[in-house]
Amino acid sequence: MKILVCIKQVPDAKDVRLDPETNTLAREGVQSIMNPYDQHALEEAVRVKESLGGEVTALSMGPPQAEDVLRQAISCGADHGVLVSDRSFAGADTWATSYTLAKTVEKLGGFDLIFCGKQAIDGDTAQVGPGLAMRLGVPFVTCVQKVREVNPTTLTGERMMDDGYDVFGVDYPVLLTVVKDVNQPRVPSLKGKMKSKKATITTLTADDIGADAACIGLPGSPTQVVDVFPPPARGNREVLSGTVDEQIEQLVEKLAPYLE
Amino acid sequence: MLLVDNELCIGCGLCEDNCAFGAIEVVDGIAVVGDACTLCGSCVDVCEVEALTIEGGPKGPQADFAEWSGVWVYSEFRNGMLAPVSLELLGAGRKLADARNVPLGAVLIGAGTGDSAEKLIAHGADRVFRADHQELASFGDESYGAILSGLIRQHKPEIILAGATAIGRSFIPAVANELGAGLTADCTRLDIREDDGALLQTRPAFGGNIMATIVCPNSRPQMATVRPKVMKELDFDGGRTGEIIEIQPEPDQLASRVRILETVVSENENVNIQESDILVSGGRGLDDEKGFELIRRLADCLGGSVAATRAAVDAGWIGYPHQVGQTGKTVAPKLYVACGISGAIQHVAGMQSTETIVAINRDKDAPIFNVADFGLVGDLFEVVPKLIDQIEKRRKQ
């Protein structure tokens, strides 16, 4: 089995916030981490490899320092790391990102099974997984909460829906995006850590993947950000006072509009 | 690419302060651009000495905009009913269509849709494209996508809205990719820009810490998924008239490489917490899964649904579909009662668009009190039963 897992390096959410005094972004000590959903995608990819054999390639698009998450992926069981990185990718929206990843996948020769996290926690779009599948012409299933059975030609699993779940079956090749319920990611082994330090990360540029300059970065992005601003401030915050009974009495008064 | 004119730059740091992405910083008195730059242009706008420019910027219009006209709503239908967000979108779509002076269309795909098309008209649609076919009983990304993209190619609407639901956020990105259309996820506000009629799409980013407004300047159609419970539906008006257009899907449009073997609907309790007006949510402070019995009682009393934090889900006290936050669902109910929840940023990111937040926590310093409209400091095992009693007493009066 040729298995691919797509991984994004993201800023740690707890570090990214607006300074309430100045309304600017407080970012001292912002750490970069592997997107949490991608950790589950990686774990599922490694589990399939352990059950059916094959190799797992971890792919990331991002700046040179995104190499860190690829080494982390190798320490958790991936065999190869590929970083596609180029200054001309700057400003890419999900359309241009899907294009860039698809060109990279074609360059790498295609895969039987592709895992992505449901979404990245910085952009929260959940659009790149389905977009990549569409570009590659492979079927996709989003929000997979359980892989029930994998065999050399087909896979069955459960996809989370708003009102429950659907059980699905599909033949390879296929792209799956996963939610965190799908598994519990392992911690890297000492052997894995040693391996990741020595591993060679393949780096590809826009030229290497044969990307059309009109389809990458800002020029290739149909959507453009025109304004960025802090969210509207929440109303007057009030901590109730008095004994517990008095506070409950006040609260019920406040909740009157919702009790009709 | 963002360029800095080192002659003009005075190292004032305005750009650094205004960059939402931490992509520009002043080093040795000169602004330096990093790899995180998204070319959003915020820094260019604030620079007082005009030292910043974006090179190789926007390309010219590629689509003949005049060919694209009308606002469409994808009206989600599953398991015999319209998703509530479909009607909310008609409310939002009606305003956009009126601002653009174009008709409002609705696309209905499914099986056994009954009088849903008439209902869509009564809630604001001028035209309904209805593909009702037994093969469409189960949602399929490929079949639904093929029908929707076929209709878009044929009729060329300038704007297409869909709910930011499990279904909308799954197949709409593939449709947008196929059409080469710009797509903005999980919008919370939509407006028409006065000077050129473009759709202004506003959405939270970085877990709601920043709002971003997005446009598709050079391509059509403009597509957006919209967060449930944010837009207001119009009142049912049985007197409204509209046209229903029957769509006969081609056999290849019904084909799907993914086989749906079974559809399991949660019957025990409502897991679709994004559609609830009232949520009662529990966290680590519940101590164990029995604590959720109390949460359920309060939810039943208020006519709401049960939500949870990641900690409670990871502890196995309640299922993942109930999880609110960065690795769970984003909700925007009218009332959110947070019980025994500390208020970690990852949780707050998923609920801070709520109309009214109530926090019950015994730790007066818990960060949840920073976002709560009403905070009650106390032991939830004492407070919640008394609260239920008081609410019931008030109702009897």
What is chain A's mean pLDDT, rounded?
Answer: 91
Is the C-alpha dihedral spanning B25, B27, B33, B35 positive or negative? Answer: negative
Say if residue B393 is exposed, middle or buried (CB neighbours under 10 Å; 0-12, 13-18, 19+).
exposed
Which residues are CB-neighbours of B365 under 8 A, at least 6 positions away?
A: none
Contacts of A17 in chain B (CB under 8 A): 209, 345
Which letter does DSSP use for residue B154 in this model? H
List, for residues B203-222, the tens digit of each pLDDT value. Answer: 987 767 778 899 998 899 99
| Residue A175 CB burial class (10 angstroms; 0-12, 13-18, ≥19) | buried
Average pLDDT over residues B17-35: 84
pLDDT digits (tens, 9 = 90+) for B359-382: 999 999 999 998 899 999 999 999
Put simply, whether the predicted model's pTM sits higher than 0.90 gets the answer no
Beta-carbon pairs below 8 A across chains A and B:
307
Q: With residue B26 as reference, give the H or E element that holds it.
A: strand B24-27
Query: Are B167 and A161 within 8 A, CB to CB?
Result: yes
- Which of A94, A236, A245 minimises the CB distance to B386? A245
Q: Closest Cα partner for B185 from B214, B147, B150? A: B214
Touching check for A127 and chain B: CB below 8 Å?
yes
| CA-to-CA separations, A44 to A34, A72, A178, B298, in angstroms, rounded | 15, 15, 9, 38
pLDDT, tens digit (0-9, with 9 covering 90-100), for A85-95? 999 998 899 99
User: What residue type is A223 in one-letter code?
Assistant: T
Look at A162 and B83 and tell me if their CB atoms are within 8 Å.
Answer: yes
Choose from B177, B190, B268, B302 for mutation: most chain A CBs within 10 A.
B177
Within 10 Å of residue A186's Cβ, how many Cβ atoms?
15
What residue of A is the nearest CA neighbor of B212? A228
**Does residue A94 sit at the B interface (CB-CB below 8 Å)?**
yes
Q: What is the pLDDT of residue A90?
A: 87
Q: How many CB atoms lie within 10 A of CB B222?
A: 28
In whole angstroms, give the CA distance from residue A182 to residue A205: 33
Q: Closest Cα of chain B to A61: distance in Å? A: 12
Residues of chain A with Cβ-Cβ distance to B327 below 8 Å are 36-37, 121, 179-180
**pLDDT value, residue B58:** 46
A163 residue type, one letter: D
Chain A: nearest CA to B383, how far in angstroms?
7
In whole angstroms, give the CA distance from residue B133 to residue B143: 11
- How remote is the C-alpha of A131 from its chain's centroid? 13
Chain A, 156-215: which have a CB under 8 Å from a chain B CB?
156, 158, 160-171, 174, 179-181, 214
Interface subset of A 33-62, CB within 8 angstroms of B:
36-37, 62
Residue B249 CA, distance from chain mean position? 29
Q: CA A58: distance to chain centroid?
A: 12
Instruction: Determine contact: A117 vs chain B, CB below 8 A.
Output: no
- Is the pLDDT assigned to residue A49 strictly greater than 60? yes
B158: DSSP letter? S
Distance from CA of B239 to the nearest CA of A (A): 29
- Chain B CB contacts of A219 under 8 Å are 56, 58-59
The DSSP code for B323 is B
Q: Predicted confidence band at A26 (pLDDT cuts at 50, 70, 90)?
A: low
Closest by Cα among A210, A134, A136, A7 to B181:
A134
B345 and A248: CB-CB below 8 Å?
no
Indicate the pairing of strand B199-205 with strand B189-192. Answer: antiparallel
CA dist., res. B207 & res. B20, Å (int): 13
Lowest mean pLDDT, pick from A39-43, B25-29, B190-194: B25-29
State percent of chain A over pLDDT 90: 77
> What pLDDT does residue A23 have?
47
Average pLDDT over residues B162-183: 96
Peptide bond preceding A231: is omega within 30 degrees of 0, i.e. cis? no
Contact (CB<8Å) A231/B211: yes
Count of Cβ atoms closer than 10 Å to residue B88 Cβ: 24
pLDDT at B384 exceeding the cut of 80: yes
Which of B41, B207, B210 minimises the CB distance to A121? B207
Average pLDDT, chain B: 92
Contact B219 A248 (CB under 8 A): no
Residue A34 phi/psi, 5° resolution?
-75, 130
Ramachandran angles phi, psi of B257, nearest 5°? -80, -15
Q: Tell whether omega for the bond before A130 is within 30 degrees of 0, i.e. cis.
A: no
For A21, phi and psi rounded to 5 degrees?
Answer: -75, -50
Confidence of residue B286 (pLDDT cuts 50, 70, 90): very high
A29 touches chain B (CB under 8 A): no
pLDDT in tens, A111-164: 999 999 999 988 889 999 999 999 999 999 999 999 999 999 999 999 999 989
* Cα–Cα distance measured from residue A174 to residue A170, given in angstroms and rounded to the nearest whole number: 7
Q: What pLDDT score does B41 carry?
A: 78
With contact defined as beta carbons under 8 Å apart, do A51 and A150 qualify? yes
Inter-chain touch A244–B382, beta carbons under 8 Å: yes
Q: Which residue of B has its CA nearest to A64?
A: B35
Please enumerate in sequence order all residues whose Cβ is within 8 A of that of B298, keeping only pairs 6 or more positions apart, or say none.
B280, B337, B339, B384, B387, B388
Sequence-distant (6+) residues with CB within 8 A of B136 are B109, B110, B111, B143, B144, B147, B249, B254
Quickly count: other Cβ atoms within 10 Å of residue B66's Cβ: 8
List Cα–Cα distances, B101 to B69, B71, B96, B201, in angstroms: 10, 10, 8, 19
The answer to whether A131 contacts chain B (CB < 8 Å) is yes
* Contact assignment for B373 to A234 by CB distance below 8 Å: yes
Q: How far is A125 from chain B (nearest CA, A)?
A: 5
